[in-house]
Amino acid sequence: MSQPVSLPTLLLIGCGRMGGALLSGWLENDLAERYVVVEPAVGSRPKTLSPHVAFLESPDHLDPKLTPAAAVIAVKPQVMAETLPHYRAMAARGTLFLSIAAGKTLKFLADALGKDAALVRAMPNTPAAIGHGISVACANKRVDQTDRARADALLAAVGQVAWIEDEALMDAVTAVSGSGPAYVFLLIECLTKAGVEAGLPEPLAEKLARATVAGSGELARVSPESAAQLREAVTSPGGTTRAALDVLMAKDGLEPLMRKAVLAAAKRSKELAG
């Protein structure tokens, strides 16, 4: 999957936070010769425009014969049903469609775009905005090796990519990596508040919490050691870290709380699916 991919034309539908992050990643990686972006909100468009990008306010302005190699759908889940029918003919002509809309299943996409459409459903996460995201992708039976490599390259432009065969896992994926950045940001908030409680001025507590989470995350990313090994390496018997971990690793500590949180997110993802 690591071969360079260059597409003649790439269509982006919705250029908000995530669509904009993807577009920046594609431009940086020279993924296509030409980009067509359908985005009604002028304010959402990136400030630095490339001459290779054409913005259209509505699909009505698309060349009716346009058949991009791939189209990425990055609109909110609630506008998917009204948006997709505009692209049904394009899907029938062979364009690969990749949707990042949370909870929208391959079946939903096939119902809207046609049962013969080549479809990939993916779940990226917000660190994609700085090229450090992780996306999980799942393809339908119409996606061949070429399309799969294309979808992989589109997502790899903003971080790591993992593929799953069983779409049912998407709810758990959403609960771990999709929603996960919010848990980490909450950890920074909690660590800051606890630092203030322990006597630190708030700006310093916030600086320490932010840098500690960022630095530890980077260490976990580059280290060959497991998270448990990294944790044990900073925990000496009878020391300060041990005293804190005795609280965090108690029976009613972080583990059961995280399990409850992730299961609640997975349940909600299932409820919202369509």
Ligand X SMILES: NC(=O)c1ccc[n+]([C@@H]2O[C@H](COP(=O)([O-])OP(=O)(O)OC[C@H]3O[C@@H](n4cnc5c(N)ncnc54)[C@H](OP(=O)(O)O)[C@@H]3O)[C@@H](O)[C@H]2O)c1
What residues line the site for ligand X (CB under 6 A)? 13-19, 38-41, 44, 74-77, 79, 83, 100-102, 123-126, 178
Q: Please tell me the distance from the alpha carbon of residue 15 to that of residue 246, in angstroms, as a whole number.
A: 46
Minimum CB–partner distance for residue 219 and ligand X (Å): 24
Provide the minimum distance between the beta carbon of 60 and ligand X in the complex, in angstroms, as a whole number. 11
**Which CB, 1 or 41, lies closer to ligand X?**
41
String of b and e for 259-268 (b: at least 16 CB within 10 Å)? Answer: eebbeebbee
Work out how close the CB of 43 gets to ligand X at its nearest, in angstroms, rounded to a whole number: 8
Q: Rounded CA gap, 182 and 41, in Å?
A: 26
Structure tokens belonging to residue 113: 């775009």
Residue keyed to tokens 């990749």: 98
Q: Which is nearer to ligand X, 84 or 139 (CB)?
A: 84
d(CA 150, CA 122): 13
Cβ at position 101, least distance to ligand X in Å? 3
Nearest residue (beta carbon) to ligand X? 16
Q: Which is nearer to ligand X, 18 or 32 (CB)?
A: 18
Nearest to ligand X of 43, 199 (CB atom): 43
Give dist(CA 120, CA 133) in Å, integer. Answer: 18
Pick the closer one to ligand X by CB: 38 or 139.
38
Task: Using the minimum distance from each CB to ligand X, give the nearer residue, 41 or 263.
Answer: 41
CB of 174 to ligand X, least distance (A): 8
Residue 265 Cα to chain centre, angstroms: 16
Left, alpha or beta for 70 (phi > 0: left; psi -120 to 50: alpha)? beta
Output the smallest distance, CB 213 to ligand X, in A.
Answer: 18
Cα distance between residue 120 and residue 106, in whole Å? 7
Smallest separation, CB 175 to ligand X (Å) = 12
Q: Which residues pair with 121 in a beta bridge?
A: 99, 138
In the complex with ligand X, the residue whose CB is nearer, 31 or 80, is: 80
222: tokens are 């580059």
Residue 62 phi/psi, 5-degree rounding, is -75, 145
Nearest alpha-carbon partner for 139 in 105, 174, 101: 105
